[in-house]
Structure 1
Amino acid sequence: MTGFARQERQCPWGTLVWEVRSVNHRYLEPHFRIPDSLRELEPKLRDSLRKQLHRGKIEASFHLQLNTVDEESSGLEINMPLVQQLTQAIETVELQMANSSAVSALDILGWPGVISERQLDKDALLSEALSLFSEALKGLIEHRQREGEELKNLIEQRLQGINEQVTQVRAKLPGILQAQREKLQEKLESIKAELDQDRLEQEMVILAQKADVDEELDRLDTHVAEVERTLKQKGSIGRRLDFLMQELNREANTLSSKSIVSDTTQAAVELKVLIEQMREQVQNIE
């Protein structure tokens, strides 16, 4: 099912952005575009995705923009406790030495451990990125749910069309069989063929059996009812609907193969069109 979501979050050290989009796919196929330095986050992202989605080709892109000037998160950090300790040590030594050399502030700053470069808290970054992804995924699911409601209405319209075709064929079937019986009798009379009445009745029964599509019509009704029931269920229903589309198409093909008049042939064609329209839409359903 298609969908898109974008979430942005401002942090003291920069801006995080997740963009998640999905397109139709029979199975779940996730793709992540994240910096190599954060690649360790991918297993958790995949796990979160699998828990909430079952179908679709998912592309998730993460963007991180660090602040260019941020005294809190970048630049140099001075270890002030160590500076104080060094200053006190120098004062103590100067008291014991008659000719002490002056020690500059630069000398103190050059002492190992006094100055260090402030590092970004990676654990905090990973936590924020994972939290923001959950928000983006929630937005994507909401988008897909809204689209799902529209697809449900479209499928229900096609199901109504199938019901109408089945009703029409069922109403015409007795007349079709009677017309075929009369047509066969007229043909026999025109060629003045002498046929045993019992044999004629047997041929008529065989013809009626070949043209009888009551069973197919009943199965079409059953499958339509099952599709309607499935649409009301919660959770993942896409694969179940895929199977039902195959069954509906199977019955429409049988109806077409048994057709002996243009009315049932046309009905079978209309059924196939409606079923194909539904099948295309079902590919969009989770």
Structure 2
Amino acid sequence: MTGFARAERQAGPVRIRIEIKSVNGRGLDMRLRLPPGLDAVDIPLRQALSRALNRGSLNLALTLDRTGGAGTVRINNQALAGVLAALDELRTKATVSMPQPEGILALPGVLELDDGAGDLDEDEQTALVLGCAGEAIERLKAARLQEGAEITGVLLTQLDAIASLVAAAEAHPARGRAAIEARLREQLALLAADASLPQERIAQEALILATKADIQEELDRLRAHIAAARKLIAEGGPVGRRLDFLAQEFNREANTLCSKSNAVELTAIGLDLKAVIDQLREQIQNIE
């Protein structure tokens, strides 16, 4: 979900530049930096981003520049009238001399700088910003799609590794009937040595041991998860959240396999599974 995009638009003397940076995020987190006077485009920009993207931590910076002249200075007649009225009222209460014109003009708000942004009305300005944002968003999507295409190969390789480990676990001799029976006989011998245990309890414990030694259900679910993950990757689109859920299920089955293992070698396979699954989860965080 990482990427960077920039776009510029100009209308008359007003030039808009938008830069968007994207990094990994579980959800969609947007941070916008706008110049003064453009607060009205905050919500439309967020809506445009949320329509186009589903995941990622986004930083959008908008810059507004005026090309051409340096702008013109004008008098704020309303502010000037207020200053003059205040002076007239003061002269009725005290003997004071009239200030010089430059002193009046130096008062805050009396003079204003017209930087040219007013050449566009609010609707035109909003349309300019959103058009520029749309172009930047499309470029960002293209950058993220390119990254996703590269990560797809990595994900498929990791799924192949998980499938190989599942096959190795299923074919391991410790899962054979003879090995399971030998393990059960050892455990039953220990149970039978305790004279205080009734035969019914021993039978129950034997059943529990036999159930615990069977990891076929976990292997079947792992294969189902592998097939589901490959299908999602083949479909394309924003599948990051669903793949993230599958990765959690992968990890759950690998943990259960390790806990049920009746051989050191089988436990080692389960630990290798967990390592590959962790790598898979890390890569999934990079896709939408």
Are the structure 2 counterparts of residues 173 and 223 from structure 1 closer, same or farther at C-alpha, using a change threshold of 3 Å? farther
Counterpart of 2:240? 238
SS at match of 1:144: helix
Give, in angstroms, the shift of residue 208 of structure 1. Answer: 3.5
Task: Give the whole-Å Cα distance in 1 for the aligned partners of 2:210 and 2:239.
Answer: 39
The aligned amino acid for 2:241 is R
Residues 160-202 of structure 1 show CA distances to partners (whole Å, capped at 9, x for unaligned) of 001000111111146654235346668999xxx8xxxxx9999
Query: 1:134, 1:207 → 2: CA distance?
Result: 62
Instruction: Give the residue type in structure 2 aligned to 1:219.
Output: R
Q: Distance in 2 between matches of 1:252 and 1:182?
A: 24
Larger Rg: 1
- The Cα of 1:125 is off from its aligned counterpart by 2.7
- The CA deviation at 1:260 is 1.4
Matched, 1:44 2:44: yes
Q: Is the 8 A contact 1:34 1:62 kept in 2?
A: yes
What aligned pairs does 1:203-218 form with structure 2 within 5 A after superposition? 207-218=209-220
> TM-score of the superposition, structure 1-length normalised?
0.74
Q: Which amino acid aligns with 2:51?
A: K
Distance 1:232 1:175, change over 3 A: closer
Question: Secondary structure at the residue paired with 1:29?
Answer: strand
Q: Any unmatched runs of 5+ in structure 1?
A: 78-116, 194-198
CA distance in 2, matches of 1:262, 1:138: 52
In structure 1, the partner of 2:90 is none
Q: Which runs of 5+ in 2 are unaligned?
A: 75-113, 194-200
Q: Within 1, Cα distance between the matches of 2:64 and 2:187?
A: 83
Closer/same/farther in 2, CA of residues 160 and 140 from structure 1, 3 Å limit? same
User: Paired residue for 1:266?
Assistant: 268
- What whole-Å deviation, never above 9, does each CA across 1:22-65 have from its counterpart, x for those lacking one? 11111111111111201101111111111111111111001112
1:247 matched residue in structure 2: 249
The residue number in structure 1 matching 2:87 is none
1:206 Cα deviation after fit: 5.0
Q: Which amino acid aligns with 1:283?
A: Q
Secondary structure of 2:237's aligned partner: coil
In the alignment, the residues of structure 2 paired with residue 129 and residue 202 of structure 1 have an alpha-carbon distance, to the nearest angstrom, of 72
Q: What aligned pairs does 1:1-286 form with structure 2 within 5 A after superposition? A: 1-69=1-69, 74-75=71-72, 119-122=118-121, 123-173=123-173, 176-182=176-182, 207-286=209-288
What TM-score, normalized by structure 2, do the two folds share? 0.73
Report the identity percentage: 39
Q: 1:215 to 1:173 in 2, by over 3 A?
A: farther
Contact 2:174 2:262 in 1 (8 A): no
1:228 Cα offset (Å) = 0.8
Aligned residue pair count = 239
